[in-house]
Amino acid sequence: MTEVIRMTAIEKRFPGVHALRSAQFDLRAGEVHALMGENGAGKSTLMKILSGIYAPDGGSIHVNGAEVRIAGPRAAQALGIGIIHQELALMPDLTVAQNIFIGREPRSRWGVLDEAQINRDAEAIFAQMKVPLDPRAEVRRLTIAKQQMVEIAKALSFRSRILIMDEPTAALNEAETDELFAIIRRLKSEGVAVVYISHKMDEIRRISDRVTVMRDGAYVGTVAAADTPIETIIAMMVGRELDQSAAVIPDLSAAPVALEVRGLTRGRMVRDVGFTLRRGEILGFAGLMGAGRTEVARVIFGADPRESGEIVVRGQPRAIRSPRDAVAAGIGYLSEDRKHFGLALGIDVRGNIALTSLERFSDRFGRVDEPALAKVAADYIASLAIRTPSDKQEVRLLSGGNQQKVVIAKWLLRDCDILIFDEPTRGIDVGAKAEIYRLLQSLAEAGKAIIVISSELPEVLRLSHRIAVMCEGRLTGILPGGPGTSQHDIMRLATQRDPAPQDMARQGASA
Examine residue 249 and state whether it is found in any structural domain, yes or no.
no
Is residue 163 domain-shared with residue 109, that is, in the same domain? yes
Residue 243 included in any domain = no
d(CA 389, CA 398): 9
- Same-domain status, 67 and 159: yes
Rg (CA), the chain: 25
**Residues spanned by the domain of 108:** 3-238
pLDDT at 110: 77
210 and 306 in a common domain: no
Q: Do 378 and 484 belong together in one domain?
A: no
- 495: exposed, middle or buried (Cβ count in 10 Å: 0-12, 13-18, 19+): middle
Same domain, 297 and 221: no
Shared domain check, 359 and 316: no
Do 176 and 264 lie in one domain? The reply is: no
Q: Are 460 and 311 within one domain? A: yes
Question: How many of the other CB atoms lie within 10 Å of CB of 110?
Answer: 5
229 and 145: one domain? yes
Give the pLDDT of the chain (511 residues) as one tens digit per residue: 799 999 999 999 987 778 999 999 999 999 999 999 876 788 989 999 999 999 999 999 999 999 999 999 999 999 999 998 877 778 989 999 999 998 887 777 777 778 889 999 999 999 888 888 899 999 998 887 788 889 888 888 888 999 999 888 876 777 778 888 988 999 999 999 999 998 777 788 899 999 999 988 999 999 999 999 888 887 888 775 555 556 678 888 889 999 999 999 999 889 999 999 999 999 999 987 678 999 999 999 999 999 999 999 999 999 999 999 999 999 999 887 777 777 888 899 999 998 878 888 888 777 888 888 899 999 989 888 888 989 999 998 887 778 888 988 888 888 789 999 998 887 676 777 788 888 899 999 999 999 999 988 888 999 999 999 998 899 999 999 888 888 888 888 887 766 655 555 444 444 4
Q: Which CATH number characterizes residue 23's domain?
A: 3.40.50.300
Domain boundary, last residue among 387, 415, 443: 415
* Domains of the chain: total: 3
Q: How many helices (H) and strands (E) does the chain have?
A: 18, 20
364 & 384 share domain: yes
Looking at the fold, whether 402 and 496 belong to one and the same domain comes out as no
